[in-house]
Amino acid sequence: MSKKIVVFVFAVLLALVIISAVNAQDIVSARDTLVVAMPSDPANFDPNSDSIQMVHAMKKQIYETLIWRDYEGTLQPQLAESWEYPDDKTILLHIRKGVQFHGGYGELKASDVLFSLKRCQETAAASAVSQIDFDASKVVDDYTVKIVTKDVYIPQIAYFEWALTGIFSQKSYEDSNGDFTKNPYGTGAYELVDYTSGDSYVFKAFKDYWDKGKPYVENLIMRVVSESTNRTIELETGGVQLIYEAPSADIARLESNPDVKVYRDASMNTNYVFFNTSRPIISDPQVRIAIAHALDVETAVKTAYKGTGVVAQFFASPGVEGVDHDIHPYEYDVDLAKKMLADLGYADGFELTFYTDTTQERVDIVEIFQNQLKEVGITCNVQVIEPVAYQQAFKEGNFDMMVYGLTTTTAEGDKAFRWFHSGNALGHTFVYWTNPDYDKLIDEAAKTLDYDARMELYSRAQQILKDQCVVVPTLHREILTAASSELKGFQNNITYESPYLKGVYF
């Protein structure tokens, strides 16, 4: 072989080595960063604010809860490494030692836990601590918190898994005068390092994280992509590696893509049509029952949700402990609906306001219901509202009907059915309804230790919900998440749909 050829071959090999090295470096760099598309902007860094799941998809990377629920539905230790019951109204929480806060705020102590829980009282997390007697609760030592409930309250421990009860540093809170934009310091696997509100949130792995070896991915970027179709496009083109709330219309397409993995899991969320029972005309339960008979829920759900989720058969998701599988919503019967309305004096119909948020599936289902109700003479004035304003609409009560989903974050009946209790932490029920018999059943169930007796109380409460027809269940929601097929270790969070990302890797 001539000297020139040898030099040429060497040069080619050297070039290939250099190119390979550059490509390898690019791959390592790219795989050290996970980019996630989420549908809603968190708006703030307050761990206790907002009850919108996707708001906490970001916050949950910063703040952790005392316990977590595994993928078999069992409560597991997290910041509380164990707990015990000295009596029926007392929980001793044993706090994990060596857990560090972001921002150099030192070790998590029992005082931080009690302070965080007390702060929940005046926030969107109020329902999680409404049964706690804080005058009797106290810090026992640096790693033990004594929680005392006002009465026997079986669901209390499960509330400590809810994302809205995330634990934060008391000192960082006091240093910032409660401004979480200045000190968003929790114990999570990721620290926030930069953000552009409404656009993106940049995180870096917390080097002092207590769960050693995690997170697996060094950098995390969470982008706000509100348009569902755009989230799909971003995933398909490689702009992101994970999308939350994958649109139902795109699921078949995504499932046929070998570069994408779709995660579909039954959630603890049930969607409903809510009636504002304080409004004229629909304050009559018989009018509400007539409307329920006029709604072809099965057709509406299958059309709007493109075959995802399950048409609601019960008054809460089937996986919720305490749901009576023998009590079903009213069946579609348009002739019966017309007869009932005529007998009630509404043969010529009437007008209603019907609210929905901007989620495309919800807009679609409301428009379908609007057409169905027109068949029985009811005119619906549909109002489409942005999600944050939609939450406010509950408090204002200016609607006649709304579509909305309720998530049973505790996976048991108290949370599922206390929504309709007149003593709800909101100060009113979502349906502006008071029924002393119903309230008594829910309160009694919460302190009934005998399992079968408790289930019977929940069953009787569900029968009242049906008889009074304060809601029409429509959909048992399915969690739809899609990711690059190279992303491993991801699992949906079935209770609050806001998963931790510390266990994912490429």
Q: Specify whether 321 is located in the same domain as 439.
A: yes
- The Cα 196–Cα 194 span in angstroms is 7
The SS3 of residue 303 is helix
Which residues, including other chains, have CB under 8 Å from residue 270's CB and lie 6 or more apart?
312, 314, 315, 316, 317, 405, 406, 408, 473, 474, 475, 476, 477
Q: At 409, which CATH number?
A: 3.10.105.10
Domain total in the chain: 3
Structure confidence at residue 13 as a pLDDT band (50, 70, 90):
very low
Per-residue confidence band for 389, with pLDDT thresholds at 50, 70 and 90: confident
Question: Residues 166, 237: one domain?
Answer: no
Which H helix or E strand runs over 352? strand 350-357
Structural domain boundaries enclosing 388 = 267-477
d(CA 498, CA 53): 6
* 269 within 8 A of 475, measured Cβ to Cβ: no
Confidence at residue 426, expressed as pLDDT on a 0 to 100 scale:
52
pLDDT at 26: 41
Look at residue 56 and tell me whether its pLDDT is greater than 80.
yes
Three-state secondary structure along 206-269?
A: CCCCCCCCCCCCCEEEEEECCCHHHHHHHHHCCCCCEECCCCHHHHHHHHCCCCEEEEEEEEEE
Task: Tell me: do 440 and 347 sit in the same domain.
Answer: yes
Per-residue pLDDT tens over the stretch 425-463: 555 577 999 999 999 999 999 999 999 999 999 999 999
Question: Using CA atoms, how far apart are residues 111 and 211, in angstroms rounded to an integer?
Answer: 21
Domain boundary among 128, 150, 175: 175
Measured distance CA(77)–CA(310) in Å, rounded: 32
At which residue do the structure tokens 């049930």 appear? 270
Across 7-16, 47-56, 108-117, least confident range: 7-16
Residue-level pLDDT at 126? 92
Instruction: Tell me if 178 sits within 8 A of 170, measured CB to CB.
Output: no
Q: Which tens digits make up the pLDDT trace of 236-264?
A: 999 999 999 999 999 999 999 999 999 99
Collapsed DSSP state (helix, strand, coil) of residue 106: coil
- Do residue 194 and residue 310 come from a single domain? no
Regarding whether 228 and 195 lie in a shared domain, the answer is: yes
More confident residue, 426 or 22: 426
Q: Is residue 392 part of a domain?
A: yes
3-state helix, strand, coil in the chain (%, to 5): 35, 25, 40
Q: Is the pLDDT of residue 23 over 90?
A: no
Half-sphere exposure of 370 (CA within 13 A, CB side): 18
Residue 251 lies inside a defined structural domain of this protein: yes
Residue located via tokens 């009074």: 468
Tell whether 490 is covered by a domain. Answer: no
Place of tokens 């552009």: 196
Q: Indicate if 278 and 386 belong to the same structural domain.
A: yes
- Give domain status of residue 190, yes or no: yes
135 lies in a domain?
Answer: yes
Q: Does 133 share its domain with 70?
A: yes
DSSP letters of 149-161? BSS--TTHHHHTT
Average pLDDT, rounded, for the chain: 91
Residue 167 DSSP label: B
Average pLDDT over residues 98-112: 98
Rounded mean pLDDT, 39-58: 90
pLDDT digits 0-9 by tens, 181-237: 999 999 999 999 999 999 999 999 999 999 999 999 999 999 999 999 999 999 999
Residue that is last in its domain, among 127, 158, 175:
175
Whether residues 75 and 103 share a domain: the answer is yes
Answer yes or no: do 348 and 424 share one domain. yes
- By the 8 A CB rule, do 471 and 315 touch? yes
pLDDT of residue 51: 79
Residue 193 covered by a domain: yes
Instruction: Confirm whether 3 is domain-assigned.
Output: no
Burial readout 113-139 (b: 16 or more C-beta within 10 A, e: otherwise): bbbbbebbeebbbbbbbbbbeeeebeb
pLDDT at 428: 58
Q: Is residue 228 part of a domain?
A: yes
Specify the CATH number for the domain of residue 258: 3.40.190.10
For residues 280 and 414, membership in a common domain is answered with yes
Are 164 and 47 spatial neighbours (Cβ–Cβ below 8 Å)? yes
- Average pLDDT in the 69-97 region? 95
Residue 375: pLDDT above 80? yes
What number is the average pLDDT over the span 395-415?
Answer: 90
Q: Counting Cβ atoms within 10 Å, is residue 282 exposed (0-12), middle (13-18) or buried (19+)?
A: buried
Among 175, 201, 226, which residue terminates a domain? 175
Query: Could you tell me the two tokens for 182?
Result: 């200045």
CATH number, residue 107: 3.90.76.10
Q: Which residues is 488 bridged to in the sheet?
A: 505
Q: Is the pLDDT of residue 1 over 80?
A: no
Nearest 5°: CA angle at 464, between 458 and 465?
Answer: 90
C-alpha 201/C-alpha 58 separation (Å) is: 8
The number of CA neighbours under 13 Å toward the Cβ of 232 is 16
Locate tokens 């990377």: which residue?
A: 61
Q: Are residues 334 and 366 in the same domain?
A: yes
Strands 219-224 and 33-38, sheet pairing = parallel
Q: Are residues 100 and 85 in the same domain?
A: yes
